[in-house]
Amino acid sequence: MNEIEIANRNDKQRWRERDEQRRYEKRVRWQEIRVTQFGYVNYLILTLASGALVTGISPLTDDSGFDRALLFSSIYQCALFVLTFSVLVGIICAYSRLCDFRDTAKTTKLLHERGGHDTGKCIEKFRDKTDCLGEISWALLKWQIRLLCLAIILCMIFFILNLNKLSSYP
């Protein structure tokens, strides 16, 4: 081989390495964005469900002029129960993410201690656990959103069915 062929081969190798590095950086950047957005959505739904729950419970505790018999209807009570369950699912989801982050940090620490080589079953165990926790977190987030939507639909049904009774209150 002459010098030009060797130089071309080296250039191609450097370009491949740069492309791989760029792809890796892009993947890491999008993974960070995904994790951040997941947290935003989780906490937004948790905040909305908590606020709706407090708003739904407040007429039961004060003299707002609402007919208490209306507030104890089965649709309204079901909506409050679903909202409560949505809040609980949101809290469990947040806890699951925290456990996932903790185990990911442990995996990264073990890899760093071993010079980046994945040789132990311990690292494999952490990876399996974090994969499982990630799947659980995504499933919980989906259920959290579904429950909030169901509660909103139940509240809308309650207000539509009782619109004429509620409109007479200030």
111-152 residue pLDDT tens: 777 766 666 677 777 778 888 988 999 999 999 999 999 999
33 domain residue, yes or no: no
93: in domain: yes
Show Cβ contacts of residue 162 under 8 Å, excluding neighbours closer than 6 positions. Answer: 70, 73
- Name the residue range of residue 142's domain: 46-166
- Is 98 among the domain residues? yes
Domain membership flag for residue 18: no
Q: Does the residue 119 lie in any domain?
A: yes
Provide the token pair at 7.
Answer: 């130089």
118 within some domain: yes
- For 75-108, write each residue's pLDDT tens digit: 888 989 999 999 999 999 999 988 888 888 887 7
Q: Does any domain span residue 71?
A: yes
Amino acid 90: pLDDT: 92
Q: How much is the pTM?
A: 0.71
Residue 36, in any domain of the structure: no
Number of separate domains in the chain: 1
Calpha distance 69→65 (Å, rounded): 12
Number of C-beta neighbours around residue 56 at 10 A: 19
